[in-house]
Amino acid sequence: MNSLIPFNKPYIAGKELHYIAQAVTLGNISGDGEFARRSASIMEERFKIHKVLLTPSCTAALELSAMLVDIQPGDEVIMPSYTFVSTANAFARMGAKPVFVDIRPDTLNLDDRLIEQAITEKTKAIVPVHYAGVACEMELISTIAEKYNLKVIEDAAQGVNSLYHDQYLGSIGELGCYSFHETKNFICGEGGAICLNSEELVDRAHILRDKGTNRQAFFQGLVDKYTWCDIGSSFVLSEINCAFLYAQLEMFDQITQRRQQIFDTYYQSLLPLEQNQQLRLPCIPEDCTSNHHMFYILLPNKTVRDGLMNHLKQKQITAVFHFVPLHTSPMGEKWGYKLGDLPISEQAGDCLLRLPFYYEITADEQKRVISEIQDYLSHSVSQIDRAIPLAFPATEL
Ligand SMILES: *Cc1c(COP(=O)(O)O)cnc(C)c1O
């Protein structure tokens, strides 16, 4: 019997426990200590971000963003439906309406051609989500945002260390949000960061993430006592997590190189199946440098996708689908959305399968995944299903 190939396996870079011990010895294990400072400055320097603040999750960073841009009840926020729930929830909890726009068939990112028609008097912000670590068309999105005076908040949960042209994701919009959840490229259990791309946002961000107090200014000796001065919450990441994260961030290049190898192996091995129209591979436009967050394939339809997923499961290989489009959720229905509204998002929900992808996956394990996919698609897919044209053209738009 073959051993189980999991979908994800958190990678321990090496010095995590060492740095946690140091944090404990230093005596400060709440937030904004030595390891928060070190982790933030690695990112600020590498990604050229004005200010990075560590948060307990990307969800928290998105919520903090919604507070920082002063989202009010009745505001509208443009975003993809094919995303994680936090993208929408962060704004909905402030009373805003998520306005879902369909995705591009090539990158599965927000379709920039559909944004302008979704803008109304009430539109306040656009939230591009960089799916699989591949950048959205930020040039177009920034131009539209400028024209209509909208804020851009990047959901770069999956895009840490990816680039659009020569700009790192998270550094392009007003605000950017990162995740260090154990399923992402660089991890600390649960964790995240907010990227503040202008100085004006910094003071208020400190206040909002520290329970609405000016404690940060107090610690810096700028005020002689600290007090309640805004409506905030508790969005500071513990030093224990920051110490763990620092060990990962030190290994940026090594982790990224390994992920690229895994991605390339899948890509090259599955390319004949794409050329044979049996599946479609991820598309990375020329102006994007991916962090290789994941490897997905697009199957002709849901029957083939689910059939392949079950086949792999029987062979002890864990492959998983991804987002159920938010406009089809019970919350989406409350805003009047229904099945059929966003066809590409729905097809991605039905046809996409993510393959096992983690630092320590072995060459043999990858071979097993690849040969089971080849086997299934060549022998078990009915003529009818094979004849259905792919929903997603392989060529770039
Ligand atoms: C993972 C993810 C999040 C949430 O990240 P957490 O750190 O778990 O809160 C948000 N948006 C996207 C697109 C994600 O993939």
Which tens digits make up the pLDDT trace of 174-200? 999 999 999 999 999 999 999 999 999
Which tens digits make up the pLDDT trace of 347-376? 999 999 999 999 999 999 999 999 999 999
CB 243 within 8 A of CB 255: no
Ligand 1 centroid – CA 128 distance (Å): 13
CA 42-17-206 angle, to 5 degrees, is 45
Return the percentage of the chain with pLDDT > 90, whole number.
Answer: 91
Ligand 1 centroid – CA 237 distance (Å): 16
Q: Is 291 in the pocket of ligand 1 (CB under 6 A)?
A: no
Q: Is 179 in the pocket of ligand 1 (CB under 6 A)?
A: yes
Ligand 1 centroid – CA 337 distance (Å): 23
Q: Which pLDDT belongs to residue 220?
A: 86
Q: Is the pLDDT of residue 263 over 90?
A: yes
Ligand 1 centroid – CA 377 distance (Å): 32
Q: Is 129 in the pocket of ligand 1 (CB under 6 A)?
A: yes
CB 95 within 8 A of CB 74: yes
* Ligand 1, atom 5, residue with closest C-alpha: 58
Tokens 């060990």, residue located:
247
Ligand 1 centroid – CA 288 distance (Å): 21
* Cα 176 off chain centre by: 11
Return the percentage of the chain with pLDDT > 70, whole number.
Answer: 96
3-state helix, strand, coil in the chain (%, to 5): 40, 15, 45
Ligand 1 centroid – CA 86 distance (Å): 7
- Ligand 1 pocket check: which of 83, 84, 131 to mutate, most ligand atoms within 8 Å of Cβ? 84
The C-alpha atoms of residue 373 and residue 367 are separated, in whole angstroms, by 10
Run of H or E including 193: strand 192-196
Q: Is the pLDDT of residue 389 over 70?
A: no
CB 49 within 8 A of CB 176: yes
Token pair of 115 as six digits:
């944004």
DSSP category for residue 281: -
Q: Is the pLDDT of residue 394 over 60?
A: no
CB 263 within 8 A of CB 281: no
Q: Which residues are CB-neighbours of 176 under 8 A, at least 6 positions away?
A: 49, 153, 154, 156, 169, 170, 194, 195, 197
CB 223 within 8 A of CB 92: no
Q: Is 131 in the pocket of ligand 1 (CB under 6 A)?
A: no
Q: Which pLDDT belongs to residue 381?
A: 78
Which tens digits make up the pLDDT trace of 283-323? 999 999 999 999 999 999 999 999 999 999 999 999 999 99
Q: Is 315 in the pocket of ligand 1 (CB under 6 A)?
A: no
Ligand 1 atom at minimal distance to the Cα of residue 57: 7
Ligand 1 centroid – CA 222 distance (Å): 35
Q: Which pLDDT belongs to residue 276?
A: 92
Ligand 1 atom at minimal distance to the Cα of residue 181: 7
Ligand 1 centroid – CA 211 distance (Å): 22
For residue 158, give the nearest of 138, 182, 129, 187 by alpha carbon.
Answer: 129
Ligand 1 atom at minimal distance to the Cα of residue 190: 7
pTM reported for the whole predicted model: 0.96
The C-alpha atoms of residue 187 and residue 179 are separated, in whole angstroms, by 8
